């Protein structure tokens, strides 16, 4: 399943420009369709064949780069992302029969302020630096099965934006979030309202956290779901980015507090009709005693050698939490860097 990424303007507006930077292998989302050749004349019996699909409009070549976009940030070192951190707002905790993003267990969220778990890359001089926004909050003003009204507020990134989509927060196509009943995630780029260089790029998670008193203290559980990420590399004088999508999984041993997992099947659309493979990734983390949160490390376990894939030596972080009244869901922010390229991303998972 492909994910969309939103471009958020610095100046608050009601309508956002949403652009896909990855698409399914059938070649949707931004690919050019073949067009008919010139009409045949009466003197020529054979038709001019339709031209083959060409590389996607707006992409930074060569074609081997796949579908991508230009950040407008001057080429330079791309920092290793820092571990994600929660915003300072009070946590929203899940309760049996209470609100959930998909409305399956109770009401839909309304007038709820969530601290964001996030990590950010932003322009340096030159290149990109890494930071977290510990003042990041997202207020769900209102939501339903087919609507969402969100207020994103991050003073340290100069963001105060209202976001409206005519779809549910976690069950949508055009929205910039995805997820499960109790946890939502996504990524955005922040650009000036009239276009221009990326001012910040952020991966985030929010949700109804499991109360510490409701966390399991024994047994194991497996979680699986969707993973998405943004990858940055050097272009021709600027830094370019693409999006990768795939599957994620975690296994939690609540007796020991050990959490392990992986990303698999991660890929990038090639801009024409198929997908380019990206790295597989492993996770090794621990649940903080007396809490719902886990923190640990990430490492690449494959290196397919495509333009945006990282080397086999790439390492990074995973930071997440359990969500739902009885830890039914998990969500996390992950990152990787090999000293040349960097990636930040999110995943939302359901226990089974």
Which band of pLDDT confidence, cut at 50, 70 and 90, is reported for residue 12? very low
- Looking at residue 80, the DSSP 8-state letter turns out to be P
- CB-side neighbour CA atoms (13 Å) of 345: 31
CA gap 207, 100 in Å, rounded: 9
Whether a cis peptide bond, with omega within 30° of 0, leads into 64 is no
C-alpha 36, offset from chain centre: 37
Please report the pLDDT score of residue 174 as a whole number.
Answer: 75
Residue 38 is assigned to a structural domain of this protein: no
The token pair at 265 is 């099947």
pLDDT tens for each residue of 77-122:
999 999 999 998 999 999 999 999 999 988 999 999 999 999 999 9
Residue 50 forms part of a structural domain: no
In this structure, is residue 247 part of a structural domain? Answer: yes
Higher pLDDT, 10 or 133: 133
Q: What mean pLDDT do residues 35-45 have? A: 30
Q: What is the mean pLDDT of residues 299-308?
A: 98
Q: What's the mean pLDDT when you consider all of the chain?
A: 87
Based on the structure, what is the number of domains in the chain? Answer: 1
Task: Work out whether the CA dihedral 23, 25, 31, 33 comes out positive or negative.
Answer: negative
For the cut 90, the answer to whether the pLDDT of residue 193 exceeds it is no
* Distance from C-alpha of 278 to C-alpha of 309, rounded to nearest angstrom: 5
Q: What is the pLDDT of residue 24?
A: 34
- Amino acid 154: pLDDT: 94
Exposed/middle/buried for residue 344 (C-beta within 10 Å: 0-12, 13-18, 19+): buried
Whether 31 maps to a domain, the answer reads no
Identify the pLDDT of residue 7: 61
> Is 43 contained in some domain?
no
Which percentage of the chain shows pLDDT scores above 90?
78
- First-to-final CA distance of the chain: 20
Asked whether residue 52 is assigned to any structural domain, the reply reads: no
The pLDDT-based confidence of 234 (bands split at 50, 70, 90) is: very high
pLDDT of residue 48: 46
Judge whether 213 lies within some domain. yes
To the nearest whole percent, how much of the chain has pLDDT over 70?
84
Q: Which tokens sit at 171?
A: 């069950």
**Range with the poorest average pLDDT among 12-16, 78-82, 310-314, 348-352:** 12-16
Residue 192 — very low, low, confident or very high, per pLDDT cuts 50/70/90? confident
Q: Are 80 and 232 in contact (CB under 8 A)?
A: no
Q: Which residue segment(s) compose the domain that 111 sits in?
A: 5-24+58-351
Q: What is the CATH number of the domain that holds 147?
A: 2.40.160.90
Task: Kindly state the average pLDDT of the residues 299-306.
Answer: 98
Please report whether residue 36 resides in a domain: no
pLDDT band at 8 (very low <50, low <70, confident <90, very high): low
Write out the H or E segment, with its range, that includes residue 351: strand 342-351
pLDDT at position 107 is 95
Q: pLDDT by residue (tens digit) across 121-169?
A: 999 989 999 999 999 999 999 999 999 999 999 999 999 999 998 999 9
The rounded radius of gyration (Å) of the Cα atoms in the chain is 21
User: Which of 45-54, 287-296, 301-310 has the weakest average pLDDT?
Assistant: 45-54
> pLDDT value at position 198?
95
Alpha-carbon span 203 to 118, nearest angstrom: 6
Reported as a single tens digit per residue, the pLDDT across 326-340 is 999 999 999 999 999
Contact yes or no for 315/299 (Cβ under 8 A):
yes
Q: Is 343 helix (H, G, I), strand (E, B) or coil?
A: strand
């Amino acid at each position: 399943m492909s994910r969309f990424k939103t471009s958020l303007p610095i100046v608050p507006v009601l309508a956002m420009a949403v652009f896909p930077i990855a698409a399914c292998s059938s070649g949707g989302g931004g690919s050019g369709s073949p067009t008919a050749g010139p009409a045949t004349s009466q003197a020529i019996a054979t038709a001019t064949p339709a031209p083959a699909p060409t590389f996607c409009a707006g992409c930074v070549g060569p074609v081997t780069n796949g579908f991508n976009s230009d950040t407008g940030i001057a080429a330079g070192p791309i920092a290793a992302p820092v571990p994600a951190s929660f915003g300072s707002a009070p946590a929203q905790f899940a309760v049996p029969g209470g609100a959930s993003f998909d409305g399956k267990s109770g009401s839909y969220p309304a007038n709820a302020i969530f601290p964001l778990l996030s990590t950010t890359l932003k322009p340096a001089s030159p290149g990109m630096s890494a930071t977290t926004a510990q003042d990041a909050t997202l207020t769900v003003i209102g939501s339903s099965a087919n609507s969402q009204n969100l207020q994103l507020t991050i003073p340290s990134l100069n963001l105060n934006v209202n976001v409206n989509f005519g779809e549910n927060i976690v069950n949508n196509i055009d929205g910039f979030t995805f997820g499960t009943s109790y946890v939502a995630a996504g990524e955005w780029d922040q650009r000036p309202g009239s276009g221009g260089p990326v001012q910040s790029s952020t991966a985030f998670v929010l949700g109804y956290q499991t109360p510490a008193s409701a966390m399991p203290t024994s047994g194991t559980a497996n979680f699986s779901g969707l993973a998405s990420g943004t990858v940055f590399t050097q272009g021709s004088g600027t830094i370019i980015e693409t999006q990768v999508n795939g599957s994620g999984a975690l296994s939690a041993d609540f007796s020991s507090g050990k959490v392990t997992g992986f990303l698999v099947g991660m890929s990038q659309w090639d801009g024409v009709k198929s997908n380019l493979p990206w790295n597989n990734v492993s996770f090794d983390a621990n649940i903080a005693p007396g809490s719902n949160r886990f923190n640990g490390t990430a490492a690449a376990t494959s290196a397919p050698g495509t333009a945006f894939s990282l080397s086999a030596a790439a390492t990074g972080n995973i930071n997440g939490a359990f969500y739902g009244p009885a830890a039914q869901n998990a969500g996390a922010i992950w990152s990787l860097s090999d000293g040349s390229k960097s990636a930040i991303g999110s995943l939302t998972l359901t226990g089974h």
